[in-house]
Amino acid sequence: MTRVISYARAINEALAEELARDERVFVMGQDVGAFGGAFGVTRKLFDRFGPDRVIDTPISEMFLVGGGVGAAITGLRPVVELQYADFLWNAGDEIVGKMAKWRYMHGGLFTVPMVLRLPEGAAGGAGPEHSSCPEAALLPALGTHIVIPSTPYDAKGLLKSAIRDDNPVAFFEHKGMYGLKGEVPEEEYTIPLGQADVKREGHDISVIAWGRMVHRALEAAELAAAEGISVEVLDPRGLRPLDTEAIVRTVEKTGRVIITHEAGRTGGAGAEISAVIAETCVTSLEAPIRRICGIETPIPQSVHLEQFAIPSAEELLAGIRDVASF
């Protein structure tokens, strides 16, 4: 049986189910307790599981991640929330130097089974310091999985898998999708990390997208279909583990590829995926690889300007038309 629930509720259910399933799991972060989280995602967990399992913390990202690492290496399974993904820089050493590396540095003597929840993306005029999509910043943090769900179904299944994984997982949630609704099974399920999903079948052009851009890609694909262009939309569901086999399959199928993400082009993960394509299936390409990304500027404070900083379905459609012309 399935029902329609929001992206935020799907995450909340995943947390509740894992807290109930495994007494080693706990949640901590700023205002995650009685307040229910800055975006309401942890609502009612404090009432159900109490202050020892849902822990409010001071405003210190360094402490949050460092405390999570310490708890993880001693046998617990923390889920740490940073209120905004932008704040990962505040905890840079603990994320890159500790969370990512310590299992390797200690020869596997212990694991680091923790999830770092990172609300990202432009939504509601939160401004330059609260609106970025910095997932590519963690690509050099080898040892850390990078997961980015685009639907309520994926959010719940991937988060449950992330909590059960013995490696640290950076779990990026787009703030603009918390209210997005979709079908989610009532029964328990998980989704393997590193398994891409074809969100729409097509045969002329492949669009590779993740997070909120999946939905803009689907909108553009619908518009393109009306013009006789068949677009396949592939969602890698994250950046590490990266499902390179799925990427190769879609490129070999269509011969044309657009990579789109909300972050700016320079330093974005689209470059890494472009390199994978160039190294593994460049002879299958019938047109140059195209990247359609956010503009090269911090996200504006203005809600009116914010919309111009990220790719729209219309921009994607224009790119699809152009690539289809080769």
CATH 3.40.50.920 residue window(s) in the chain: 197-324
Given the residues 130, 145, 174, 215, the one annotated as active site = 130
CATH 3.40.50.970 residue window(s) in the chain: 2-185
Neighbours of 295 (CB within 10 A): 13
What's residue 180's pLDDT?
A: 98
Range 144-152 average pLDDT:
98
Helix runs in 135-240, H state only: 152-164, 213-225
Active site annotation includes 106: no
CATH number among 1.10.260.40, 3.40.50.80, 3.40.50.970, 3.40.640.10, domain 2-185: 3.40.50.970
The fold of 197-324 is: Rossmann fold (3.40.50)
Residue 229 has pLDDT above 90, yes or no: yes
Produce one character per residue of 187-211: b if its CB has 16 or more CB atoms within 10 Å, e if not: eeeebebbebbebbebebbbbbbbb
What's residue 35's pLDDT?
A: 96
**pTM of the prediction?**
0.97
What's residue 1's pLDDT?
A: 87
